[in-house]
Amino acid sequence: GRDGKEHKLIIVGLDNAGKTTILYQYLLNDVVVTSPTIGSNVEEIQFKNLKFLMWDVGGQESLRSSWSTYYNAVEAVLLVIDSTDRERLTLIKEELYTMLAHDDLKSARLLVLANKQDLKGAMSAAEISKQFNLTSIKDHSWHIQACCALTGEGLYEGMEWLTDEMT
Ligand code: GDP
């Protein structure tokens, strides 16, 4: 936030969930410094005092062990869901709980972005919340937000929650 201190956030989700689109909506109209990809499939974007690290979860097993090297000092996890992708919901749920169990993410907030709400057949935020059993999460502060990355709808509200939590 407003204190000048650097904040580190990670944006994760399956491929095609809308991570890149969401990130650039957040950064719209501002100059963004994109570092060359720093790890196998990890992209780092520095914006003012915010550092975003972004990668696809659910990728090859061999890449997974390296993700945790980026967990240090992470203040927030943004999990982007393609709300029409019912088949892979269980997969992403497993990835989510594995992440939340990691020591370095103990104090990280969780923002779930239920993206692609404009598409027919999209699951609602309530439905995804139920599938993910989010109410069982007591050791992290979490929030789920319905959104559409194409129009930006819902993205501001999600970030509002996050900045309130972080300041
Ligand atoms: P990433 O792989 O998670 O970074 O996903 P991208 O940001 O590259 O988006 C994957 C595809 O989904 C692209 O064609 C986007 O234009 C599209 N997309 C992203 N968000 C939305 C959305 O809210 N609604 C619709 N209809 N398409 C979206």
Look over the chain and give the mean of its residue pLDDT values, rounded to a whole number: 87
Q: How far is the CA of 139 from the centre of ligand 1 (A)?
A: 30
pLDDT of amino acid 27: 79
- Confidence grade of residue 1 (pLDDT, cut at 50, 70, 90): very low
Residue 146: pLDDT above 70? yes
ipTM rounded to 2 decimals: 0.99
SS3 161: helix
Q: Is the model more confident about 54 or about 82?
A: 82
Give CA–CA dist 88/81, Å, rounded.
Answer: 10
Tokens in use for 79?
């999990």
pLDDT of amino acid 80: 97
In 3D, which of 125, 74, 127 has the Cα closest to residue 100?
74
Residue nearest to atom 14 of ligand 1 (CA): 16
How many helices (H) does the chain have, and how many strands (E)?
A: 5, 7
- Measured from the CA of 117, which atom of ligand 1 is nearest? 23
Does the Cβ of 145 fall within 6 Å of ligand 1? no
Tokens in use for 145?
């937000």
Does the Cβ of 158 fall within 6 Å of ligand 1? no
**What letter would DSSP give residue 153?**
B
Give CA–CA dist 97/152, Å, rounded.
Answer: 27
Task: State pLDDT tens for residues 17-62.
Answer: 999 899 888 877 555 555 655 556 788 888 778 888 888 887 666 5
Phi/psi at 102 (5° precision): -75, 135
**By the 8 A CB rule, do 75 and 166 touch?**
yes
Cα→Cα distances 151→15, 114, 140, Å: 20, 14, 29
Does the Cβ of 149 fall within 6 Å of ligand 1? yes
